Amino acid sequence: MATSTDTKTNIPDYEYLDVNTNIFHIDAFRSEWLNRLQPSDFSFQEEDQETSDAHFAAEMGISAETMDELKSACSLDSLRCHPEDQPPDPEVVPPDPTLKTLVQRKKKQDHKATLKSSKNRHDLYADELERLTFGTRPEAVTDMIPEGEIILTMNIYYPATFEKFSHVRPHLTLLMTGSHTLAELRDAICCVSDLQVCGEFSNTPDMAPDFISKDHFKSSFFYFEGVFYNDMRYPECQDISITTIEWARDRNFPPYTQAKMEDTRFVDLKVKVGFPYLYCHQGDCEHLVIITDIRLTHKNDCLDKKLYPLLTHKHRVVTTKCAVCHIYIGRWLTTNDQFAPSNPCTFCEKCFRMLHYDTEGEKLGEFQAFPYVDRGAFN
């Protein structure tokens, strides 16, 4: 008997209430919506009011007079809570509010006013990224996202390497379209471990910056619902999922399969919304990936294909500053460093050189030095 939890249905419903959905095929979900809607419902054009009203009157079989009466009964003017010539200031909480929301807001603002205000520019521009692309249309028609396309919201979480990050779950949020491939998502994920330089360079600090991880360890995979999607675009790429697959096979786990990241579009995937999946790169840098939303495109969306994947949120992490000047972000990490106040310790480029090398560039004392890219470097 067909039930709402049947895997054959592509109508998403909760698997666990308010947590995640059952599994469904994204393109089939899209078709389910398109089958139910009129093309005008998801069109990027807005039908004009008069035409629409005329259609409505005809459909309902009502006279022009009744239609006018109906329109005035439903007018937005009837929602206005103030005299027309005395517009209020919507930026302030009105005096003596009765709505509980306003009482609470007022209390909070009064409390805030007593504190020393330290406005954070990052908070102020929190959703600026999305606002900037609101309703953007491309210059070339060919870059226009078609009506009825899917938009996905993805959260990519940073590896929880430090205990103190475990409760804030820093992440970045990206918007993707259904026709994007997983490889395009992979290229949009910026992670410091892709920039991390490997090796100890205390004797040859000038040699360090040429050696970037992404150029050397290209292999990576996504994992969604029993399938490992490997990046096989470059000859150096290796199938790094095979170890896991073989390990699982030897232990009688349900079989896992493989596919290519670059050949898989989002609409081809079967997923659960809200469920944690995996992105793994650099061998062991693992990120949780959660698809938090899937929906049809809307006329207010950024409709320029070229601007996707679209970054809408980037968590700020506390940057590790240089131990000497406390101004610049750390570029070097040293260990067993007799000059350092802590072990390990971070220094900016300038302070590192001044403290650890003489004017001839000769290394002073004993220490190991590792080029360091701070997690907050992209803030």
Partner 1 sequence: MEPYRAAVTSDCEKLLSRFHETDSVRFQVFSKIWREMNFSQIFYGTVNHQKRAFSRLILDSAYSFFLPPFSFQIRVGGLYLLYSLHQSQTAAPPEQIRLALKDWEDVKKFEKDAMDAQHLDAIYILRQLMLKKAFHFTAMPTHLAFKKLRKKEVPALCEKFIERACRPQEFINNDLLEELSNIHELYGNLKSSVSETSKESSVNLIRQDLIPRLRRTVVDFHNWQHRKGDSEEEEGSGEGASSQQDCSRRAGLIASIKSKAYGEAPEARRSRRHRQVEVDITSSVAGTWKSPAYIRRKIASLRVRTNESLHVSDDMHKGVASASKITHLTSLGFAAEDTPNRLNGGKDRIRVPS
Q: Taking CB under 8 A as the criterion, which residues in 114-143 touch partner 1?
A: 123-127, 131, 134-135
Task: Show Cβ contacts of residue 292 under 8 Å, excluding neighbours closer than 6 positions.
Answer: 153, 154, 155, 173, 273, 274
Structure-block tokens of residue 80: 């206005």
The C-alpha atoms of residue 239 and residue 230 are separated, in whole angstroms, by 6
Cβ proximity to partner 1: between 120 and 342 the closer is 120
User: Is 275:20 a contact under the CB 8 Å cutoff?
Assistant: yes
56 is a site residue for partner 1 (CB under 8 A): yes
Q: Which is nearer to Zn ion, 94 or 159 (CB)?
A: 159
Q: Minimum Å distance from CB 29 to partner 1?
A: 6
The listed partner (partner 1, Zn ion, none) that binds 7, CB under 5 to 8 Å by sort, is none
Which one of Zn ion, partner 1, none is in contact with 93 (Cβ closer than 5 to 8 A by kind)? partner 1
191 binds, among partner 1, Zn ion, none (CB under 5 to 8 A by kind): Zn ion
32 binds, among Zn ion, partner 1, none (CB under 5 to 8 A by kind): partner 1
Question: Can residue 285 be called a binding residue for Zn ion (CB under 5 A)?
Answer: yes
Residues 6+ apart with CB under 8 A from 53: 67, 71
- Strand duo 270-272 + 20-21: pairing: unpaired
> Is 274 in a helix, a strand, or coil?
coil
Figure out which of the listed residues 325, 336, 338, 379 binds Zn ion, where binding follows CB under 5 A. 325
Minimum distance of Zn ion from residue 198's CB (angstroms): 14
Beta strand 310-314 with 227-230: parallel, antiparallel or unpaired? unpaired
Binding to partner 1, residues 312-351 (CB under 8 A)? none
Instruction: Tell me how far, at minimum, the Cβ of 354 lies from partner 1, in Å.
Output: 41
Number of residues near Zn ion (by CB under 5 A)? 9
Which segments of 247-341 are extended strands (E)?
Answer: 257-260, 270-272, 276-281, 285-296, 310-314, 332-335
Q: Side chain identity at 43, as an amino acid letter?
A: S
Give CA–CA dist 111/250, Å, rounded. Answer: 61
Instruction: Kindly tell me which of 2 and 141 has the beta carbon lying closer to partner 1.
Output: 2
Residue closer to partner 1 by CB (options 47, 225) is: 47
Beta bridge partners of 20: 16
Tokens 């410091």 belong to 192
Give the interface segment with partner 1, choosing from 88-96, 186-194, 218-226, 356-364 (CB under 8 A): 88-96
Residue position matching structure tokens 């996905």 = 152
Of 95-103, 189-197, 199-207, 369-377, which part binds partner 1 (CB under 8 A)? 95-103
Helices marked H in 315-362 — which ranges?
349-356
User: Which of the choices Zn ion, partner 1, none does residue 2 contact, using the CB cut-off of 5 to 8 A by kind?
Assistant: partner 1
Evaluate whether 337 touches 364 at the Cβ level (below 8 Å).
Answer: no
CB neighbour list of residue 357: distance below 8 Å, 6 or more residues apart: 205, 363, 364
- Binding flag, residue 274, partner 1 (CB under 8 A): yes
Within residues 62-81, the interface with partner 1 by CB under 8 A covers 62, 66, 69-71, 73-74, 76, 78-81
Site string for partner 1, 145-184 (x = CB under 8 A): --------x-x-----------------------------
Chain residues binding Zn ion by CB under 5 A are 191, 193, 285, 322, 324-325, 328, 348, 351
